[in-house]
A = this chain, B = another copy of it.
Amino acid sequence: MSVLPQSVEKVINEFSKLPGVGPKTAARMTYHYLRSPNHDAKQLSEALGEMDDTITFCKHCFNVSDKKICDICSSTIRKSNKLCIVEEPLDVVAFENSAVYDGFYFVLGGVISPAEGIGAEDLRFKDLKKRVRQMMDDIDGKELEIIVATNPSLEGEATASYINDMFEKEVKEGTILISRLAMGLPTGADLEYADRLTLKRALEGRRSI
């Protein structure tokens, strides 16, 4: 005899699939929904169902969207000669929330990571090539600026060089300019606690004031 009703076991089992959520946390989460007075479970259930039905990937940037071409990619006021390459959709959210960027995006879907068995063929490099060609056609000879905004990790760096190699010819011809986000001290950081690599990068990238 199982202690818990089957439908409860099923929900615990589903929550356990979340990264970093063990069976105990999954059980706590499930019991939260059992206790909630205003049918939170039903609300989450409906929200998830709706998301699963309506969400797709934008054909241009591969960000999640409820349209074939997302609002950002179909915007006419964005700079059409700037492409920011990020790892995940949440990175787009971070950029948009900070309102510091006015070009287009491309979501790679991860980074090259031999340790996790993620090779170049698992990411959207073919689609990236297609998108870059398309944008170059659109701006008709003007220089396209590619900003590689992968995370400042080993894998992010490797992926950035891979992208750099991909467009070597165009960079030499001067039709593409590739840059990488600056690395250094984050705002509000304490020098005393900065790690060696961050300090090294901050020193290398020093600018006149």
Contact = CB atoms under 8 A, between A and B. Distances in A.
Interface of A: 1, 3-8, 10-11, 13-15, 17-19, 27-34, 36, 39-52, 54-55, 64-66, 71-72, 88-90, 92-93, 96-97
Given A88-B31, A89-B31, A50 B7 contact: yes
Contact of A5 (B5, B42, B64): B64
Contacts of A47: 7, 10-11, 13-14
Contacts of A40: 14, 17
A32 B48 contact: no
Main secondary structure of the interface of A (DSSP, over half): helix
Nearest to A2: B71
Count of chain copies: 2
Contact of A15 (B1, B27, B44, B89): B44
A51 B17 contact: no
Nearest to A44: B14
Contacts of A3: 72, 92-93, 96-97
A48 B45 contact: yes
A88 B11 CA distance: 18
Contacts of A29: 18
A10 B45 CA distance: 11
Contact of A51 (B34, B43, B55, B89): B34
A167 to B, nearest CB: 27
A181 to B, nearest CB: 19
B33 A41 contact: no
Contacts of A55: 5, 7-8, 34
A10 B46 CA distance: 10
Contacts of A39: 52
21 contacts: A3-B96, A7-B66, A10-B47, A10-B50, A14-B40, A14-B47, A17-B40, A19-B28, A19-B32, A27-B93, A28-B90, A30-B51, A31-B90, A33-B51, A34-B51, A34-B89, A39-B52, A41-B48, A42-B48, A44-B45, A49-B49
